[in-house]
Structure 1
């Protein structure tokens, strides 16, 4: 898979813009109502409104894979390494997730005044992008003194402190805000070289000026972030029917498969110099300075002028290890332990190491909108500017062998150097330059009649790329020695996105919905990182949906069928030769995906205090035009099932509140998920489970306890590394493989306060 470990795919949700098309990579409880809560009259539910742009009744941060990122919302497509889009103050937290992952600079925090889930049609209309997005707003200054915070710990020693204070500076409308977030998370497994898997610090400071006569406000905020994160994989024995068995010397989710000294040896692709990099600390750390100026002002003619601007300056370093394959070696194979030279026989793991030295990234963004209610129309016009510069991004590569077990040791083999590494910079990456996106867009929420509502929008964007890359093949030991090896990039693309949603009440409680969404994109600068010029044909994603809704005081239900197609997808696979597992190859593939789906979602409130959210999705995402060559052979996986996406998804979220107590649970079901491109390997169906209780001590203090994976599921999920080309599963029964997994049984405790 591309670049990094797969997060766990999460269950899809039904929002007012229907979901069913269901999404790899990686939080959530009940849906408020798929078509928004119906307005009530004395006669009961009358009409459906579509003015809400967010679904705020979802715990998007409930992630079964880790404590650092939001869960992904499933849309029937493989997710990216970056996971769900994260917006902060109406602008992306980072312009592009690679190499600066959003969780390096953004976390759920009391330093955020509001967090919600932006619907797909709104993301298409306002950003021109496909999918869902977490939409968050920073805590601004307040006219009264406010202090809020949260302390979280877990049964594995997780420590997270989060505090924000805000209040007045003067009587003429000036206020301040200050916040600090610190995360020290050892996760659920023990590294051999560091206590914490994730260390992240975020500091915020700012001032807000409130205009007279409640005309609006303007805020100037500064944020500094510093973060590193180490990924992990599980080793397991693969068996029939997609089931996996734990090894005696490796507990899934409890043990580390990261080499025990955390050191990787690289060769700089720009200079040719060899160096060592660490998985923790400075060699894997990203820091960023962020300045936001945002607010709104109510004009005399009734139009609300809203603005948000951001300057983001970061320096990114990143160390990554990806397991590729496991094979057995006897004593004659010539493997020795790097630490002491002792001969080794047994299971040997092949690892791909990647390191990005310090890379400066600059992004400047601004959004400016005008909004007004004009009769039965709620109209918004906007302009969005996004500038991005990355200075000489490189991904240096090497390979090495290690023992198979908890905290494995590095091995020296017959084809490695004296430190155990080989194939330096085979498949190494380089690109440098700028991207610029300028967009204009408009939306209208039109109440045509009491029973008929239309919501529509159009987004027009110019996307330009200006930079350099290289067509020189990245052979073993490669580095750039000739300035003429670089080729200029100068591209400009015009892209269209938009949506049309209609709801019609046949009766005061029952109606029909129809939705259409369309987005376009072309390649990014990052697509030029390998030694070829990528296909820049337009990527088109049309989605159509048709369904019904039923709203009463006790139930809000939606059932909808959806069709989605996306063409010209690009993915890079670290392939392993099924005939010789010591051979690996990086291959780029272009392909299409199409999905048919049907989702039913309801919220049930049968009696006071009790709430039940239920979601079920049936979908059939398949590859189209999926052809490539590797190891001298041609492959065609058209009509195969999409990797890591379940065909049946289910979510059950009951909760009950009584007096000062609230009890809740969340059950997510994933049917069989294919784990390699041939669909020969798959993981058995699984449940992800969460549960918790909260107690309100008083109006200022709340206590909470959460249990993740309370059924203690210990299986694997995602994809199986190095197994993409396997066509017959039976020889792999009993073999050792690697993959991603959900967190083991974990308890978390929190104390929140708000004064």
Structure 2
């Protein structure tokens, strides 16, 4: 289970309805002086890595999850197993989508992160319908429809359907679509007491199959100066690095039995959800909301691919393509595959009381969130050619036997079954002390209980539940004999969060702002799916966030500049590390700290009628602390990463988002995002140069019923890679020079894509 976040700007509330590529974005000016929510357009659905989920807005820490809330409840409780994009999309069933800042999110959810905050359409007295259609030049077809209205004076209804047929930017061959997702919604609302109250019941069914990381990696030539080149015959973004046939064998970690299958058959996700929403405003203007939902996902499955080093083999290595009598010679890569099987249930409830008393806007809230997880994964390894649609090679032994798949469950097979429960109370107050001075503060106290079965043993080839294994030293002496079986872990802990934000206007246009937030938690159930932390390693995770700066506002510009500090202690990470220059890998559990100091300046500018510009610049320095890896390989030194820049997180970030309304009904817009130099491994020996992610489009409201749009993704047609480089985890800086013009593999940007949309309102 694999789970980056920064950009601390005093901005953010985004409203978008039907278009997943921002055809209906509404700009909201920053309200730094009086509101607790940060506000401006953040284009959260413009994602250069994945078209089907919000982008992760960075806050200087590795991401724990993609945080999306619908009607005050998590869209999925955790995306570690049940992936967000399999159950939630920005579709026509949503009436409003906004963005919570990290401080607000910490109090209401317990997580410090920018969080998408969505609300369902419930209906209205008059009938309304919307039909959205999207396509692109690769053959993507997306249909999204919602109808809503009233029945008499006291009933409202809503119903929607979402259908996604996405072949991706190349044909995977073993599956028709890279993403095939279906969502169905239906809801009924009862109005009562002269519309002071309403009660809604909403049913949702999701069915999704997505190939994900199976098709998101590619080989390239690492030039040595931070840039990459395409290898001959392989186009980044439009060539497939997934095997053509898609069939494999694996050992089931649950019983040790050998089984077979196709990659595309292990990506099924299904979920049923029933939500109940209650909202009532008393005559003294006290507002009470109580939202609850039950969700059952009997299938929450996905497949992960990984890689190691790319090398050249000779006849002596004894590798053969299917049906060939001659040994294969050429480039190969050791490939890894993880098959993830999950069953998820949750019961979630959030209730809030809100009331404005004088200069105080107060809120008292309650979370009761229960999450049950039944999850395991199996892993295996294989060797593939470094070509488009790679061939899986056989290793033929002297006795004539063949070995195509190997290393069964050697690399981080996982298992956990149990539950976690969060019972939390929180309080916030937005206090307008004077026209110039505003204070927002809040606190959260959470009782956390976890009960989980785990298998806390080192992994090895042939690992499975029920096996009896002998651990030996280098001389072959038996150190211990263990039967592999689940162990129960039970934890009862208290977590807390607190925030305080101050805004003071020195003059009509100029002022000061500062805030501090702290949130804590203990290791979660998904962090026990591997070997898990031992009792000595089980420690409180603490995340403090401090910000302070200046703002300037007038009738055409809103400027904010802030210094930010954020850190995280006891971060848990399970790493597969590779011996440099080989395909030999081991799994290790790491617990370390991260801290980031940054400076962010953000501006919202409206210099003349019809034109709007959002601009942001961030400089940050995220570094590791207490990060030590004892090398599991002979001849490879231990790694002390203290002071190293955190991999995958850039030190420089910039956003430039201009838009212009040529007429009230015709809008053109661009979005430029710059991500500076990022390190591609733990030792900071390898890195990727800065890159631009670019989007542009035009939206035309033809009439009150029809809107048309066109979007270009990656219009600069950048071919860069991103993320980490497979097999380079422990590569030292002294060895980096050896990798000039070296073949490697990793992730890449979405290719240049032309998208078209039409929206029909009726």
Which bin holds the TM-score, normalised by the shorter protein? over 0.9
Is the 1:31–1:613 Cα contact (8 Å) retained in structure 2?
Answer: no
- Contact 2:31 / 2:39 at 8 angstroms: preserved in 1? no
1:613-641 deviation line (CA, Å, top 9, x unaligned): 11000111110110011214421010000
Aligned to 1:15: 10
- Check 1:127–1:64 CA distance in 2 against 1; reply closer, same or farther (3 A cut): same
Question: 1:247, CA displacement in angstroms?
Answer: 1.1
1:409 is matched with which residue: 382, 391, 402? 391
Partner of 2:529: 529
The aligned counterpart of 2:753 is 746
Indicate the residue corresponding to 1:24 in structure 2: none
Task: Give the corresponding residue for 1:200.
Answer: 181
1:137-152 to structure 2, matched below 5 A, reads 137-152=119-134
Q: SS at 1:258's partner residue?
A: coil
Q: Which moved more, 1:204-213 or 1:67-76?
A: 204-213
Pairing partner for 2:309 from 325, 337, 357: 325
Question: Alignment partner of 2:526: what SS?
Answer: helix
Alpha-carbon spacing, 1:512–1:17, altered in 2? closer, same or farther (3 Å) = farther
Output aligned runs, 1:365-514, within 5 Å: 365-391=348-374, 393-413=375-395, 418=402, 420-426=404-410, 427-481=412-466, 485-514=485-514
237-246 vs 297-306, which deviates more? 297-306
Aligned pair in 2 of structure 1 residues 35, 563: CA closer, same or farther (>3 Å)?
Answer: farther
1:732 aligned partner: 739
Q: Look up the match of 2:102.
A: 120
* TM-score (normalised: structure 2): 0.92
Q: Alpha-carbon deviation of 1:10? A: 7.9
Partners of 1:241 and 1:188 in 2: CA distance: 28
2:638 alignment partner, SS class: strand
- 1:514-570, CA deviations, whole angstroms, 9 ceiling, x for partnerless residues? 110111011011111223544220010111111000010110010000111111011
Cα distance per residue 1:682-725 (max 9 Å; x no partner): 00111111100011100121100000000110111111111111
The equivalent residue for 1:294 is 277
Structure number with greater CO (CA < 8 Å, separation at least 6) is 1
Question: Shift in Å at residue 55 of structure 1?
Answer: 3.5
How many Å apart are 1:223 and its aligned residue?
0.4
Q: SS state of the match for residue 730, structure 1?
A: helix
Q: Partner residue of 1:697? A: 702
Aligned alpha-carbon RMSD (Å): 2.0
Is 2:252 aligned against 1:268?
yes
**1:624 — aligned with what?**
625
Cα deviation 1:473-495 (Å, max 9, x = unaligned): 32211221278822111101101
Task: Report if aligned partners of 2:595, 2:625 keep a CA contact under 8 Å in 1.
Answer: yes
The question of whether the paired residues in 2 share the 8 Å contact of 1:695 and 1:703 is answered with: yes
Per mean C-alpha deviation after superposition, the further-off stretch among 365-374 and 527-536 is 527-536
Q: Which residue of 2 aligns with 1:22?
A: none
State the distance in 1 between where 2:395 and 2:2 align: 25
CA 1:395–1:133 in structure 2 vs 1: closer, same or farther (change >3 Å)?
same
Q: Which moved more, 1:271-280 or 1:235-244?
A: 271-280
Which of 734-743 and 255-264 deviates more? Answer: 255-264
- CA drift of 1:513 comes to 0.2
Question: 1:381 is paired with a residue of what secondary structure?
Answer: strand
TM-score (norm 1): 0.93
Q: 1:96 aligns with which of 78, 91, 103?
A: 78
Task: Provide the rounded CA distance (Å) in 2 between the counterparts of 1:608 and 1:276.
Answer: 63
Structure 1 residues 17, 543: closer, same or farther in 2, change over 3 A? Answer: farther
Q: 1:143 to 1:115 in 2, by over 3 A?
A: same
In the TM superposition, 1:134-283 aligns within 5 A as 134-169=116-151, 171-230=152-211, 231=213, 232-280=216-264, 282-283=265-266
Contact persistence 2:369–2:422 (CA under 8 A) = yes
Contact 1:66 1:187 survives alignment (8 Å):
no
The 1:511/1:363 distance shift into structure 2, 3 A limit, reads same
Q: Cα gap change, 1:443/1:351 in structure 2, threshold over 3 Å: closer, same or farther?
A: same
Maintained 8 Å contact 1:468/1:487: yes
Gaps of 5+ in 1: 19-26, 37-47
Tell me, yes or no, if structure 1 residue 57 matches structure 2 residue 41.
yes
| Preserved CA contact (<8 Å) 1:58 1:116 | no
Specify the SS of the correspondent of 2:420.
strand
2:738 partner SS: helix
The answer on whether the counterparts of 2:12 and 2:42 sit within 8 Å (CA) in structure 1 is no
Q: 1:606 & 1:300 partners in 2: Cα distance?
A: 44
Q: Deviations over 1:159-183 (max 9, x none)?
A: 10000011122x2411211110010
